[in-house]
Structures are given as structure tokens and as C-alpha cells.
Chain A
Amino acid sequence: MKENDFNIRIAGEAGYGIASAGLALAKIALRSGYFVFDYSEYPSLIRGGHNIYTLRISGEQIYSPSLPVDFLIALNQDAVDFNKDQLSPQSFILLNSDKASDSGLSSGIRALPIPLVKIALDNKGSEVMMNNVALGAITFLLKAEFSVLESGIREAFSWATSEIIDLNIKVAQKGFDYAKDNFAAEEIKFDLKKIKAKPRLLLTGNDAFGLGAIKAGCKFFAAYPMTPINSLIVYFAAKAKELNLVYFQPEDEIAAINSALGAAVCGVRSMTASSGGGFSLMVEALGMAGMTETPLVIIEGQRPGPSSGMPTWTGQGDLRFVLHASQDDFPRIVLAPGDVEECFWLMIDAFNLAEKYQLPVIVLTDKYLAESRQSINLIDDSKVEIERGKIVSLKDSLQDYHRYEFAQDGVSPRAFIGQTKEPFFTTSYEHNEAGFAAEDIETRKAMMEKRMKKLETLEKEMSQPIIYGSKDAEFGFISWGSNKGIILEAQKILASQRIKTSFLHLNFLNPFPAEAVAEFCQDKQVLLLEQNISGQLAGLIREKTGLKIKDQFLKYDGRPFYPEEIADKVKQIL
């Protein structure tokens, strides 16, 4: 057990409020001044399957989950059996003695038995309240203040009647008392005593997308429910009335993207979101956004495929798909934020770039980033700038307005349907400057070149990838998207063992920063990491730079990387 860094896991059957107990615990830690990072695993079932929630708490900034689990709250026997391999000999288990026993645990592990169900029932609660009994106990064991838990429960149950809230607080108090009478809190070296800290935010990637989109001025969001973007939909829908936004629930993903496009051509910043399956249905309209030069933000939340795949697990298997989806060539931007903070800021970029270059911007995330919570420093939203690019309005003379006028940089001035003196013409067919269908050789070539020119223009002002770690390291990581935090943690482990590393993180995948990647690879041994079986980024690097990266760590089991396994891998290679 690291003094300052502690992993708690709650495990049990789906339907027992594990996620809400986890959130309450995360908030206790956050408000006591600690950094937190959480991660949930659950099968694609509402009830009955095995759910786990893991919360990492630290006095220092942390970027990912880590292993081993220091403290397991086991609500049933599966919780013990399925998770014992991730415990260390110094770990503790708060064991629900009504449903599980400690037989078969390796030596050293300390079991703290507590009858969670009995305590709930004895106090007029129901079996599902055992999670709150457990929260009471852990609050005592980690030396946190009960009042923090109490306010956490009040918040989590804000939808409920005051009787239900009181009852939940009462059983939590009983859990606290039981632990106080039966266990010695000093044995656990970690504590959650309040420490002085600046206030922080606790956000999932989806929360940050929602906040970023709203801040960017997105007013229309059409999306058909699909894991892992559901919590983004729920957030946007909940805020729509208050903030003058529209969440539109369409009949399918085809309607989702087409309606977002319809709103966009009228001048509304709009967005759609789905996972790979839903994105598959959007592909034809993605091309229409390219052809009609309509700004559109599309969030693609990856999960393991193909097809229905593993709906509630994580992966990075859709990079190639989003880079090439739809017929023929047209410019598109592909972004892949690395963490919660980047989810916010890249969402701002996504909307600005979509309008400045009049094209679709695809933002790749995955289940791990979308649903894991991370504590971050407060966001200074006064730094956000909205850039809409070239726009003509009613004020300008529009007698001869041509929607697709040729321009040096490829970007024709844009007008909004419904906001000009004269109507103008937009079509998914190849067209001339005026927006009428055209198939002659000259027009076709010129229009294709005009559209593709936009990417060249963009490349000139594109920000370069960030390199983390030691500049003079002889060993480097390359990766993209949500692996960022995990690799930063692996770098910390390696640094503590005097292994210097550097890390080039890609969050801009199209246009591709080929020069920066080539330069990074020049003078060091490189390990590439990504979560797909074919090395999709490796292939892209080969295509764009000619370089073949030999050492690859590819994971495709639906679970994120762990920093510990990455550090081990590096030591094998070196």
C-alpha cells in the first residue's frame, strides 16, 4: 500500500447501487481535498451480472486507475472470488458476512466481516441499502467525517422523498457505528482526513463533452441512445430547457446526423454522437456533410466490436473506420482527446474548426474515457473563444452570392439558410459555385481540389502533438486518445525506477502531424500502444511517415491498459 495512494473497489451484483455508492465515495474524497480517478466495469445487463467500481484516491495528481486493489468492499461471494487476484497481501476486504465468506483468500489479506444486509433490514431498510451500510463503515475506517458522507447521500438521493433519504442516512450511520465497535481504523494506513486543497471538479469524459459543447455554443444535439455516449445525452437533455438548447431524440442514427445537418445549414452549431454501430449508419450523411461543406461535430464513443461486440467495455478499434468512412475523398478532421480536460477543450476546437473549415469533425472517445471520472483543476471558461470563420449575412450584398465560390484557401464564405435576402443552393451532388448540380470535367476537378485545399490550409495552423517526460530519454512511447493518462502513470512508475522515458501523445489524427511523429521516432527506441488488434495507429504512421514501429503493445480484451503492465512491458523490452 502506497501511503498516499489508495485503491478501493466495490464489487457485487448489478442492481445493488454500486455505481451510486461509488459516486458518493468519490465525492467524499474530492471534498476532503484528494485527487480521485474512478473506473467501472459492468456487463451489458441491468440486473444479476457482476459489477465493479474502483476508486483511486491520492494526495497527488493522478491520471488513471492503478493496481493492486488496497481495499475491497465485497457485497457477495463473486466479489471475493472474481477480485482476489487483484489484491495484494496487505489488502483489506470489507466482507458482507451475510453473503460471502473469506475462505480461500491468500495469506496476509485481512477480512473485516460485517453483516451488511442484516444491519439494513434491522433498521427498517431494504437489502439494496446495504451499499450505504458499507459506505458508513468505510467512512469510519478511512477516518473521514460522517457529515461529508451524509451530504453525499443527500445529493445522490435528491430525487427521493425525505423518508427515503433519512433511512439511507440512518443505515449508513449504523454501518459507521458497527465498524467503530468492531474494527480498528488505525490498521489501515490510508486516511481521508480533510486536507487543504483548491476546489476541483469531478468529471467524466461525457460530462466534459457536454460542458464543452454547451460552452462552444452548440444548441442542437441529436443522438440515438447507445453505450457509451448515453450519459452525454442525458446531461444535454437535462439542461436543454434551462439553457435554451434542443436535444432531439430521433428514430435512428441516420435521422440523428441528418437532422443535425439540417440545423447546421440554418446556422446552428449542432452535433450528434454514437458508438461505432450507430456511426456506421451515419456514414452516408457524413459524406453529405463533406460534399455540402456543412460544419458538424460527431462524437464516436468506441467499444469493442465488430457488430454488437462488447457494449459496456472499452477499445480503440474504430480509428481507421472514422478516418475513411464514406465514399471518395473529402476533408474531415479527426480528434481524440486524451483525458477529461482535453474532452472539454477539444470540444471547443471541434466546433470552431468545423465552422472555420466547413467540414465534419469527428471526435473519438471510448467507454473508458466517456464514463470514468477524474478530478481536475477548475476550468477557466473565460479562455474560450468562439470562431465562426467566414460568414456572410443579410447586411452584406448578396445579389450574386455563390455558396461554393472558389477561394484561395478553399473556404468559401458561408451563409445561413433563412438569413439572407436571396435564397441560395446547396446539394449533395457535385456542383458548381452557385450550388447547382454539375458534372463537367473542369468543375468537378476544381471543386474536388477546392474542398481538399481546406485541409492544407488547416495543416498550417494545426497545433503540434505534446511530448511528455524527459526530452533526452532514449525510450519513448507513442499512443493516441484515452491511453494518455495511463501512460503518464507508467512513466511515473518507470521514473521511480530510474528509467527515463518520453511520450508523444496524439490527439489530432487527421490531419496527421507526420513531421512531429517522424522526428520523435528518429533518435529513440519507441513502443507504440493502442487498444486494437491490428495496430491501426502503427499502420497510419507507416502510411504517413514510412516508418515501421516494431515494438507494439496492443490490447483488445475490452479492458483499459494498466500503468503497471505497461511498466513491466517496457522492462521486458529494454
Chain B
Amino acid sequence: MNFKTKSKIIWCKGCGNFGILTALQKAFEQLGLNSNQIMAVYGIGCHGHMANYLRVYNFEAIHGRTLPVAIGAKLANKELKVIAIAGDGDQLGEGGNHLIHASRKNPDITCLIHNNQIYSLTVGQASPTSEKGMKTKTTPQGVVDPQLNPLALGIASGATFVARSFSGDIPHLVNILTQAINHQGFSLVDILQPCVSLNHTNTFTWYRERIYKLEETGYLPNAKNLAFQKSQEWGEKIPTGIFYQEERLTLEEQLLPDKNEILAKQPLETSIKKLLSEFQ
């Protein structure tokens, strides 16, 4: 299956977004999906440009609002694989509230945070994941707030699949993405995505020096407290892999009135005779 469009890619040379695009295309192939079985909903940011490069049903939404659009679509057509493609500013700043509630509601959606620890499209302002002390255009004296931790937030809010990967390690990312997409429920994947033009601190090298793989340490992602603890690790060593996974009924399983039917394919004609008679 061909998941490429003919659009010219305008990301900077060496941008971490390339790795994510490639990994997604491979993951879809490995999962044996057709491009007409997948809907991707994008936020606004450099990450969102992928809407022009990935050949699936693309809906490029507004800044921060990927998840509610994705949830509406999933409820309308539960057979679609729905992927929300967001930035760190997009999903953790503008759209933070939606992340909390999507985690809690557990729709069968995969949310990718292209985490480059900076606002890139708007050319270099601090993001909720910028490290404390980092000098950016909006923080000339250095960031004063502590970093927001998307994994801890996801775990605390009830996400049923929480993982981290790195756009510089495509095999690892493909593996995490296939598992995330296969997971029945809300999967949150924090993807470390170097921005080569605007973030000169958190570079490919910086990440490579620190990253290690949880699955190589015998870590099992089935205990919430432990997962929460693990999620706090950042700095000298940065864990990647699946932090937490559990099974729970999805939003669609609970909210859709008829489990066997696709809402979007229901006939619109309906009789309201009985409803009217209740008002007599």
C-alpha cells in the first residue's frame, strides 16, 4: 500500500518529523491497513504539515483540537483507525484539557505527540515541555516553569496505553506505533522529535546519549504506580518504550447504542410518531 502523496515536503532538512512520517507509513504497512481505513487528525504546527504528505484520510484541524475531532469521527465510524497527530505545544498547551479527558474516556484512538520541546512553526517560543532554564524567544532569561510531563499526565488521567519513542530510532518507533494502533483504547505516544532548526539543546545527539529501552531492563508495563514513577525519569537517563498498558472498555463500546452498526451508515429517515404522542 502506498501511503505517500505527491506533495513537496517542506520540513527542514534533518527534521525529526521525517522519522515519524516514515515510521507511520511502515507501521500501517506492517498492520496490513489500507489507506482508506485510516483517518489522521492533525493539529497546527510543523507536525501538522504531515497532512500533506501522508496518504490516508487527512483532516487538518485547528491548533490543539485534534482529540475532540478524532473522538467525534471515531464515534461516527468505529471501523476507522483514528490517529491524532499533535505537537507538544498543540496537545499540552492549547489542547491540554482534551488530553486529560480523552485519557479518561478511553476512545480507541492513538495520539502522537511530536515532542520537540519548542514551538517550531511560530519560530522558537517556549513550549510546556521546554526544560527549565532553556532560553527561547519568549524566555530570554530562561524558562521559569517546570516541564510538563505528558506520560505522567496520561497515566494519571487514565490513558490505557502510554509510551515514549524517539524519531531517531525508526525500528523502535514502528514497533511502538503498531502496538499503540493495535491497542483497544486510548494510546498516547510521546515521540522525542528533534527540531534541528530551533532547539539546539535537545538534539539527536543529546537524546541518543540519554535514551534507553525499558523493554531491555525487564520492566513490565502493567503497574500504574510503577509506571508513574518511571515516567518521572528525565535528564541523565531517558526511558523509552511502553510505560503502562491496561484493558478497559472503550468510549465507543459504552456510548454507541448499537455495537454492530456504524453510526455514519444509519438511514436518516426515522419515525417520530411515538415521540410526538408523549407530548399529548
User: Which of A's residues lie within 8 Å of B, judged by CB?
Assistant: 30, 199-203, 207, 211, 214-217, 219-220, 222, 239-246, 248, 250-252, 254-256, 258-270, 284-285, 288, 292, 378-379, 381, 386, 388, 416-429, 435-437
* CA of A262 to CA of B252, assembled, Å: 14
Determine whether B55 belongs to the interface, using a CB cutoff of 8 Å to chain A: yes
B5-17 interface bits toward A, Cβ cutoff 8 Å, 1 = contact, 0 = none: 1010000000000
Is there an interface contact between B101 and A266, defined as CB atoms closer than 8 Å? no
Contacts of B143 in A (CB 8 A): none
Question: Quick one: CB contact mask for B58-82 with A, threshold 8 Å, 1 for yes?
Answer: 1111100101111111111101100
26 contacts between A and B (CB under 8 A): A201-B276, A202-B279, A202-B280, A214-B270, A217-B270, A219-B268, A244-B263, A246-B75, A254-B97, A255-B68, A261-B72, A262-B69, A263-B73, A266-B72, A266-B264, A288-B62, A381-B272, A381-B276, A417-B39, A418-B37, A418-B77, A419-B264, A428-B61, A428-B62, A429-B60, A437-B52
Q: Can you name the residue of chain B whose Cβ is closest to the Cβ of A216?
A: B268
* Centre residue among B57, B71, B257 by max chain A CB count within 10 A: B57
Q: Is B217 part of the contact surface with A, judged by Cβ < 8 Å? A: no
Find the A residue at minimum CB distance from B7. Answer: A436
User: Chain B's nearest CB lies how many Å from the CB of A302?
Assistant: 24
Measured CB to CB, the nearest residue on chain B to A429 is B60
Residues of chain A lying within 8 A (CB to CB) of residue B100:
251
Docked complex: B224-280 residues within 8 A CB-CB of A = 255-258, 261, 263-273, 275-276, 279-280
Bound-complex Cα distance A265 to B58 (A) = 11
A160 to B35, CA, bound (A): 53
> Among the listed A201, A214, A259, A428, which residue makes an inter-chain contact with B280, where contact means beta carbons less than 8 Å apart?
A201
Contact assessment for B59 and A426 in the assembled complex, using a CB-CB cutoff below 8 Å: yes
Are A268 and B263 in contact, with the CB atoms below 8 A?
yes
Q: B41 within 8 Å of A by Cβ?
A: yes
Contact A423 B263 (CB under 8 A): no
Query: In the complex the two chains form, is B69's CB within 8 Å of A219's CB?
Result: no
Q: Is the CB of B55 within 8 A of A423?
A: yes
Q: Could you tell me the distance between the alpha carbons of A201 and B101 in the complex, rounded to whole angstroms?
A: 40
**Assuming the A-B contacts A263-B73, A265-B59, are A417 and B80 also in contact, with contact meaning beta carbons closer than 8 angstroms in the complex?**
yes
Please determine whether A269 and B57 come into contact, CB atoms closer than 8 angstroms: no
The answer to whether A427 and B255 have CB atoms under 8 Å apart is no
Q: Is there contact, CB below 8 Å, between B35 and A423?
A: yes
Contact for A262 among B68, B257, B261, B268, CB less than 8 A: B68
B141 contacts A by Cβ under 8 Å: no
Does B69 contact A217, Cβ atoms closer than 8 Å?
no
Q: Which residues of B contact A250 (CB under 8 A)?
A: 68, 101
Among B52, B75, B266, contact of A244 (Cβ-Cβ < 8 Å): B266
Q: A201-B276, A203-B279, A244-B258 in contact; A263/B76 too (CB < 8 A)?
A: yes
- Give the contacting residue for A285; candidates B41, B52, B65, B263; CB below 8 A: B65
B21 interfacial contact with A, CB 8 Å: no
Roughly how many angstroms separate A121 CA and B60 CA in the complex, as a whole number?
64
Known A262-B73, A417-B73, A423-B36; contact A248-B255, beta-carbon cutoff 8 A = yes
> Are A265 and B73 in contact, CB atoms less than 8 angstroms apart?
yes
Known contacts A251-B100, A285-B62: A215-B272 contact under CB 8 Å: yes
CA distance A248 to B44 in the complex (A): 25
What residues on A are CB-neighbors of B76 within 8 Å? Answer: 220, 262-264, 266-268, 270, 418
Partner of B270, one of A215, A260, A426: A215
Contact at B62–A417, with CB atoms within 8 Å?
Answer: no
Whether B52 contacts A421 by the Cβ 8 Å rule is no
Q: Smallest CB-CB separation from A202: which chain B residue?
A: B279
CB pair A266–B272 under 8 Å, yes or no, is no
Instruction: Report, nearest first, the 6 A-B pairs whose CB atoms are least far apart.
Output: A262-B72, A217-B268, A259-B72, A258-B68, A266-B76, A427-B60
Are A217 and B269 also in contact (CB < 8 A) when A239-B275, A261-B72, A263-B75 are?
Answer: yes
B135: interface (CB < 8 Å): no
Question: Does B35 contact A422, Cβ atoms closer than 8 Å?
Answer: yes
Contact at B39–A418, with CB atoms within 8 Å? yes
Residues on the A chain within 8 Å of B44, using CB: 428
List A contacts of B74 (CB < 8 A): 262
Specify which chain B residues have a CB less than 8 angstroms from the CB of A202 in the assembled complex. 279-280
Give bound CA distance, A258 to B65, whole Å. Answer: 7
Contacts of B258 in A (CB 8 A): 244
Q: Contacts of B264 on A, CB cut-off 8 Å?
A: 263, 266-268, 416, 418-419
Q: In the complex, which of the residues A241, A245, A268 has the most CB atoms of chain B within 10 Å of its own CB atom?
A: A268
CA distance A30 to B280 in the complex (A): 8
Give the shortest distance, in Å, between B258 (CB) and chain A (any CB): 5
Cross-chain contact A255 with B101 (CB below 8 angstroms): yes
Minimum Cβ distance to chain B for residue A330 (Å):
14
Q: Knowing A220-B75, A427-B51 are in contact, say whether A259-B270 is a contact too (CB < 8 A).
A: no
Question: Most B CB atoms within 10 A — which of A214, A418, A428?
Answer: A418
Task: List B contacts of A386 (CB < 8 A).
Answer: 268-269
